[in-house]
């Protein structure tokens, strides 16, 4: 038996691609910027001042629609924008009343 030891082979660590470090830095920078913008924006929320105190109140953008001449069985679609301008929760119960007026 010989007392000679074999030299151990060291395996070099695998090389990472050259783009990994710059991509990680760009991602970290974007995350820091997004966090800073979120913190700035969350601190500047305007205070809501209700128009009506002590109760809910609905403000509707348009209450009258004139579609002109519409044939029978022709569907008509309308969008109502309703906003609560009071300081209490607004609940709309049931379906709204719609009045159909026939013209000459």
Mean pLDDT of all residues belonging to the chain: 82
pTM greater than 0.75 (yes/no): no
- C-alpha distances out from residue 87 to 56, 57, 60, Å: 6, 8, 16
Query: Does the pLDDT of residue 9 top 80, yes or no?
Result: no
Q: Where are the beta strands (DSSP E) in 1-104?
A: 58-60, 82-84
Q: In terms of Cα–Cα distance, which of 93, 65, 68 is closest to 78?
A: 65
Predicted confidence at residue 76, as pLDDT, reads 86
Helix (H) or strand (E) holding 34: helix 20-42
Tens-place pLDDT, residues 23-67: 889 999 999 999 998 888 777 666 778 888 899 999 988 888 888
Rounded Cα–Cα distance for residues 59 and 63 (Å): 10
Query: Does the pLDDT of residue 1 top 70, yes or no?
Result: no
Task: Supply angle C-alpha 18, 24, 28, rounded to 5.
Answer: 160
DSSP 58-94: EEES-S-----S--TT--------EEE-BSS-----S
């Amino acid at each position: 038996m010989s007392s000679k030891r074999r030299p151990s082979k060291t395996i070099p660590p695998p090389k990472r691609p050259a783009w990994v470090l710059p991509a990680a830095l760009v991602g970290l920078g974007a995350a820091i910027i997004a966090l800073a913008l979120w913190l700035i924006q969350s601190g500047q929320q305007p205070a809501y001042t209700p128009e009506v105190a002590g109760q809910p109140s609905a403000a509707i953008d348009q209450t009258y629609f004139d579609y002109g001449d519409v044939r029978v069985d022709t569907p008509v679609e309308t969008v109502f924008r309703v906003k609560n301008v009071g300081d209490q929760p607004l609940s709309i119960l049931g379906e709204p009343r719609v009045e159909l007026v026939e013209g000459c």
